[in-house]
Structure 1
Amino acid sequence: MSSVDKQLEDLKAEIEDELPPGISVSDVKYEGPELVVYTRDPKEFASNGDLIRKLASKLRKRITVRPDPDVLMDVTAAREKIREVIPEDAGVTDLDFHVDTGEVVIEAEKPGMVIGRHGSTLREITKAIGWTPEVVRTPPIESSTVSNVRNFLKQEREERRDILERVGRQIHREEMADEQWVRITTLGCCREVGRASFILSTAETRVLIDCGDKPGAEGEVPYLQVPEAAPLNSIDAVVLTHAHLDHSALIPLLFKYGYDGPIYCTEPTRDLMGLLTLDYLDVAAKEGRTPPYESEMVREAIKHTVPLEYGDVTDIAPDVKLTFHNAGHILGSAVSHFHIGDGLYNVAFSGDIHYEDTRLFNGAVNDFPRVETLVLESTYGGRNDYQTDQEDSERNLLDIISDTHEKGGKVVIPAFAVGRSQEIMLVLEEAMRSGKIPRMPVHLDGMIWEATAIHTTYPEYLRDNLRDRIFHEDENPFLAEEFNHIDAGEDERQEVTDGEPAIILSTSGMVTGGPIMSWLRHLGPDPDSTLVFVGYQAQGTLGRRIQNGWDEIPMNDRGNGRGGRGNTLSLKMDVETVDGFSGHADRQGLENFVKTMNPRPEKVLCVHGDERSVQDLSSALYHDYNMRTFAPKNLETFRFK
């Protein structure tokens, strides 16, 4: 008998000792980080509301209780009972029964009403039918991504359960190492922005954090071939902080080269990763480049994803616990806190953070019981990288829009589909509703509408007041009549160009390809129109060059702005930059993030910024807070124990 089988046998006996008479346990299994308890008495389990919580606390495990398939109520009868228990106002749109696991997935417009206070309605459902209910939200705006991901995971349930059982056995295996140490190896994004990737190693475990590309630098990928990362099938877990491509683009590539383990991220990060990586492949094909992997690898990545919620402490290896906290950067972005060993060491990776509250999100969390080392993004870590405050930024943007409208021109805003676009949409919706700017069409091009639909699917990750508005359909700001999804391609773009004053939000945010190139062709020669940058423009991107004054823009036939000698566009539209809308903390925000940590970390690694930014921030944190700081290069290894 393996050590894991013995462990499960002991857990089964311990659970049986804790249960009151009349409740049986037929089997216990690991599925990923969870302990799944099968019982022939699910209704009795549900009748004792504190039982699962007490077991989880005593065993220090995340526990799911499932009924044995042979004690399940007939599906037709169960469907009727569920409708009786759940209030009609909950807006149930689908009931999906899975006999193999005894689970029923309930899709509803108002999941909170299905769950009930402290899970009371869920317990009522189990008491009535014996099935284990799982609740998902019906997207207020239809999302093909959310629908496709849910359908795909439904089709792959059996294989996914096999994957989770294998992962669970890996997590709970017996520790083999005699010594204890902690190391971090930098595989990318050091003294540069992009290709974020790190290996966190212990004597027992190796975890890969992020695996992204580098904007504007085709072919520069993380150093996955070095001994710390290779072979990929020896990595125990992958943690994805958020879905932006400079952190997620090459996650599917791992599966092409042998990785077959879990990816830990939040649920919205999983969906957005699917959206952005599939688009990444599509753009590469349109530009005549060979994509680094096939779409099948994106599906593999989604199949291997284990979604975690903020604040859940989760075992991901025998000696590593992971907890996600809100990073305030984009939907589902997470500061990733690793607790290593039995109190041996604690490391936090900031991912990308925004420390102050925005219209979309609460600011980044920096409240941890312990952090000895912080790996901190430094995108705006330079000495003079202070952004305009939000109110001033919004006022500047609205002034530019009003001036351009008076001239009869169009405002073109290159924006990331995820995060900045929704922030700008909220500003524009409020400004038009309150009369600060004239009402005019706001055209959303590229993936912006689909990304917005995903935001409305997960309102619990948004700011409280915004979440409340989304719950009331007549107040959902994203459904304002001014917003128009461009879905007819060039013909519709030409119509907009020939039409009345308007605002165009278009991907790509750094002008490295996509629909923004078409808008430059249409409106670049128009001196009455304005191009407004509201997000970070990385070195080497066309966006940065235009920002720095280029007015002759290379345009090749593929429209990616990276070639086409002799084929140039004369840019006559105004070019403006409005700071303050970035999803990244500025220099002050980064310092405040560290300053208000209690206790403060002993060491800080400043990463994800150009050379000046990381060195400036590293120096300032050292001088101001007397902590050891580093501005590492790629392929450095730091040992902490």
Structure 2
Amino acid sequence: MTTADEALDDIHEQVEAETPDDITISRVQFEGAELVIYTPDVKAFAARDRLVPNLAQTFQKRITVRPTPDALVPQDKATPEIREIIPDDAGVQSIDFDSDTGEVLIEAEKPGLVIGRRGNTLDEIRTAVGWTPEVVRTPPIESSTVSNVRNFLKQERQDRREILERVGRQIHRPTTSEEDWVRITTLGCCREVGRAAFILSTPETRILIDCGDKPGAEGEVPYLQAPEALAAGPQSIDAVVLTHAHLDHSALLPILFKYGYDGPIYTTEPTRDLMGLLQLDYLDVASKEGRTPPYESQMVRETLKHTIPVEYGNVTDIAPDVKLTMHNAGHILGSAVCHFHVGEGHYNVAFSGDIHYEDTRLLDGAVNDFPRVETLVLESTYGGRNDYQTDQADSERNLEAVINEVHEQDGKVLIPAFAVGRSQELMLVLEEAMREGRIPTMPVYLDGMIREATAIHAAYPEHLRERLRDRILYEDDNPFLADQFQQVDGGDEMRRDVVDGEPAIILTTSGMITGGPIMSWLRLLGGDPNSTLTFVGYQAEGTLGRQIQQGRDEISMNDTAGNGAERVALNMGVETVDGFSGHADRAGLESFVETMNPRPERILCVHGDESSTDQLSSALYQKFNMRTVAPKNLETFRLA
């Protein structure tokens, strides 16, 4: 018998000892960080208000109580009973049963009505049919990604449960070392933007944080073959934690499964869906450009199957000696500042990922309130001494001025933007500016993945700013559905029609002009002096976007007829409108650190070019008298 089995036997005995005699405990099981209790007496469990909280306190774990099969009303009888209990106004779309777990998944347009006041409706369902109800929201905008992910995870239920049980045993294995130390190894994104990857090590555990590519630099990937990483074998990594879905943080996660990794990936639920969308597009773009993708789509499915969603603020065991808490990072939907609590109060490390400290139209600003942080790994994208972004209101006025001028010239405003985050922020700005008459009402064409990414945002309104959430959920006033937003779904033929038509705004991927639909738009619009290319986001070193921003007026791209390289002169205007970046500027980064209480003892400045990381590191040292460093890739730091 393994030690995990022995631990479960001990827990089983203790649970039985602490529950009333009229409740039978059939079995207990670790599933990830949770302790799952199976019983035929779910109603008796529910009738004792403090029983589950008391057990959670005893074992210091989240407790889930599930019914055994003999306690369940048959599905054909349970379905009409559930529908009878739920108010018609809830808009129930589907009811799906999982007999292995005793759960019933209810998809509804208004989940709050399914849950009921203080969960009363859920309790009524549980009492009537025995099944444990789980509720998901029907996306206000149809999303193929959300639908496909949900259906895929339903199909993989058995494998998912086996993965969770295996992960649970790993998490709850006994510790073997009497030493206490913590180390961080940098595998990428140091003195550069992109290929984010770090290893957090203890005597018991190794955790990989992020695994991304480097925009505009094909072949520059994280140093995964380093001794601290996969050189010791993929199974030597206990867990992967993903801060957010952008490809410079997530693109190469599927390659881990190609190498043989079979463990969990912890991230938020929106990040899981966005990650799948971006990774599949990453493969599609590589294929269209004649490049060999580093992995196949099956590896993306494996990544999704191994993902364990974490809610903001929930403390989650991910290893015998490490707890993870994710907090809103304000960067994009689902982005997280990841806080790691190591040992029994031994050490605390936070990885900022990418952060935006101030509130935006789309998201609340980054959280920096932690009980303890000794070391902070901080992004430095805009960490240079002169990297102060324009105030948001001024930025919007500047963008409106560009649009008005181009409209008077009967031209087009071409905006390369990240599909996730900046595009949705811009859609909100444009919708309001047109509604209030600050710019003329005109078509806003969405090309690439922008429409689908927007649908995913609408599927998770609880992650958005309160005012926006209320408009979507309660006021039937979803700004993303405004009439002026039109999807480009006709390829180059539709793009030519747009170019030949009335003045318009075009939002298109990719945000750094590293491939994708933006290349077609540049071919069609590049020679038009009445149109303007408008940058609203960060352009990394080495990208075509940075080169154009710095004055390049001719570009080379593949001839659509396959006749080799085509030279395209850029006669269109080029503007940069600061203030729309999803990253904190220099002032925001300093404020993030200044308002932390207590402040960290040490900061590693990463994810910025060499001057930005050096200058931010020096400034933080001088202002706050703390240890700071701008590490290089492949350095290891002992923290404790």
Could you give the per-residue CA deviations for residues 39-74 of structure 1, whole angstroms, max 9, x where no partner exists?
A: 101122223343322321222111111100122101
Deviations 1:139-191 (A, max 9, x none): 11010001111111111100111111000000000101121110000000000
Corresponding residue for 1:299?
301
Give the corresponding residue for 2:438. Answer: 436
Q: Against the structure 1 CA distance between its residues 558 and 233, is the aligned structure 2 distance closer, same or farther, given a 3 Å change threshold? A: farther
Which 10-residue stretch deviates more, 492-501 or 3-12? Answer: 3-12
Superposed CA offset, 1:392-417 (max 9, x none): 00000011111111110111100000
1:637 maps to 636
Contact between 1:43 and 1:128, CA under 8 Å: does it hold in 2?
no
Q: Which residue of 1 aligns with 2:597?
A: 598
Equivalent position of 1:207 in the other structure: 207
- Structure 1 counterpart of 2:139: 139
Cα deviation for residue 245 of structure 1 reads 0.1
Tell me, in whole angstroms, the C-alpha distance in 2 between the residues paired with 1:557 and 1:304. Answer: 41
Counterpart-to-counterpart distance in 2, 1:219 and 1:245? 14
Q: 1:555 offset after TM fit, Å?
A: 1.6
1:590-611 CA deviation, whole Å, 9 max, x = no partner? 0000000000000000000000
Aligned to 2:572: 573
Alignment CA distance shift 1:293-1:473 (3 Å): farther
1:468-479 matched pairs, under 5 angstroms: 468-472=470-474, 474-479=476-481
2:270 maps to what in 1?
268
What displacement does 1:473 show? 6.3
- For residue 390 of structure 1, the aligned residue among 389, 392, 395 is 392
Matched, 1:220 2:213: no
> Deviation digits for residues 306-354 of structure 1, max 9, x if unmatched?
0000000000000000000000000000000000000010000000000
2:185 corresponding residue in structure 1: 185
Aligned-partner residue type, residue 513 of structure 1: G
- Equivalents in 2 of 1:449, 1:169: separation in Å? 41
Aligned-partner SS, 2:558: coil
Q: Secondary structure at the match of 1:526?
A: coil
In structure 2, the partner of 1:57 is 57
1:13 to 2:13 alignment: yes
Aligned pair 1:171/2:171, yes or no? yes
Contact 1:181–1:640, Cα closer than 8 Å, also in 2: yes
Spell out, residue by residue over 1:243-291, the C-alpha distance to the aligned partner (whole angstroms, 9 max, x if none). 0000000000000001110000000100011000000000000000000
**Any residues of structure 2 matched to 1:113-132 within 5 Å, and which?**
113-132=113-132
Shift, 1:23, TM fit: 1.8
| Residue 244 (str. 1) matches residue 218 (str. 2) | no
CA displacement at 1:564 relative to structure 2: 5.9
User: How much does 1:460 deviate?
Assistant: 0.7
Contact 1:517 1:559 survives alignment (8 Å): no
Aligned to 2:612: 613
Which stretch shifts more, 189-198 or 63-72? 63-72
- How far apart in 2 are the matches of 1:428 and 1:555? 31
The 3-state SS of whatever aligns with 2:8 is: helix
User: Aligned-pair distance for 1:121?
Assistant: 2.1
Aligned: 1:528 with 2:527: no
> Could you tell me which residue of structure 2 aligns to residue 622 of structure 1?
621
Q: Distance in 2 between matches of 1:344 and 1:222?
A: 29
Q: Secondary structure, in 3 states, of the residue corresponding to 1:540?
A: coil
1:70 matched residue in structure 2: 70
Picking from 496, 499, 502, the partner of 1:497 is 499
Select 1:234's aligned residue among 236, 252, 269. 236
Counterpart of 1:538 in structure 2 is 540
Equivalent position SS for 1:555: strand
Q: Secondary structure at the match of 2:337?
A: strand
1:335 is paired with a residue of what secondary structure?
strand
Q: Which amino acid letter does the alignment assign opposite residue 443 of structure 1?
A: Y
Query: What letter matches 1:124 in structure 2?
Result: E
- Verify the 8 A CA contact 1:386 1:587 in the aligned structure 2: yes
Amino acid at match of 1:503: I
Preserved contact between residue 39 and residue 66 of structure 1 (Cα < 8 Å): yes
Q: Which residue matches 1:512?
A: 514
**Structure 2 spans left out of the alignment, 5+ residues:** none
Q: 2:359 aligns with which of 357, 360, 363?
A: 357
Deviation at 1:622, TM superposition (A): 0.3
Farther off after superposition, 23-32 or 388-397: 23-32
Q: Name the residue aligned to 1:280.
A: 282
Q: Percent identity?
A: 74
* In 2: Cα distance, 1:92 partner to 1:335 partner: 34
1:493-518: CA deviation from partner (whole Å, max 9, x where unpaired)? 11111110111000000000000000
SS class of match (2:262): coil
User: Is the 8 Å Cα contact of residues 216 and 540 (structure 1) preserved in structure 2?
Assistant: yes
1:324-335 superposed matches below 5 A: 324-335=326-337
Q: Give 1:399's aligned residue.
A: 401
1:185 is paired with a residue whose SS is: strand
Q: CA deviation at 1:422?
A: 0.1
Match of 1:460 among 453, 459, 462: 462
For the aligned residue pairs, the C-alpha RMSD in angstroms reads: 1.3
Equivalent residue letter for 2:7: Q
Q: SS at 2:476's partner residue?
A: helix
1 CA distance for matches of 2:226 and 2:146? 36
CA distance in 2, matches of 1:492, 1:629: 52
C-alpha separation in 1, matches of 2:50 and 2:530: 66
What's the CA shift for 1:113? 2.0
Q: Deviation at 1:81?
A: 1.7
Match of 1:289 in 2: 291
| Counterparts of 2:119 and 2:184, CA distance in 1 | 40
How far apart, CA to CA, are the structure 2 residues paired with 1:361 and 1:557? 40
Deviates more, 1:248-257 or 1:517-526: 517-526
Look up the SS of the partner of 1:107 in the other structure: strand
Please say if residues 180 and 202 of structure 1, whose CA atoms lie closer than 8 Å, have aligned partners that are also in contact.
Answer: yes
**Deviation (angstroms), 1:100:** 1.7
CA distance in 2, matches of 1:621, 1:381: 10
Q: Residue in 2 aligned with 1:93?
A: 93
CA–CA separation in structure 1 for the residues paired with 2:49 and 2:524: 62
Deviations 1:205-250 (A, max 9, x none): 0000000000000000000001101222210000000000000000
Distance in 1 of aligned mates of 2:327 and 2:638: 25
Could you give the per-residue CA deviations for residues 369-397 of structure 1, whole angstroms, max 9, x where no partner exists?
A: 00000000000000000000100000000
- The DSSP-based 3-state class of the residue aligned with 1:37 is strand
- The number of aligned residues is 638
Question: 1:518 is matched by which residue type in structure 2?
Answer: S
- Return the alpha-carbon distance in structure 2 between the equivalents of residues 208 and 609 of structure 1: 20
Q: 1:558 offset after TM fit, Å?
A: 6.7
Task: Name 1:410's counterpart in structure 2.
Answer: 412
Measured in 2, the distance between the counterparts of 1:603 and 1:585 equals: 20
Query: Shift of the alpha carbon at 1:441?
Result: 0.6
Residue 559 of structure 1 deviates from its aligned partner by 11
Query: How far does residue 84 in structure 1 lie from its aligned partner after superposition?
Result: 2.1
Aligned to 1:4: 4
Residue deviations 1:413-466 (CA, integer Å, cap 9, x gap): 000000000000000011111111111011000000000000000011111111
Match of 1:310 in 2: 312
1 CA distance for matches of 2:13 and 2:121? 30
**Which has the larger displacement, 107-116 or 609-618?**
107-116
Opposite residue 180 of structure 1, the aligned amino acid is D
State the distance in 2 between where 1:558 and 1:594 align.
Answer: 49
| d(CA) in 1 for partners of 2:561, 2:119 | 52
Whole-angstrom CA distance in 2 between matches of 1:408 and 1:260: 55
Structure 1 moving runs of 4+ over 6 Å: none
Q: Does the CA-based 8 Å contact 1:206-1:235 persist in structure 2? A: yes
- Checking the alignment, whether the CA contact within 8 Å between 1:44 and 1:127 is kept in structure 2 is no
Amino acid at match of 2:99: V
Partner of 1:343: 345
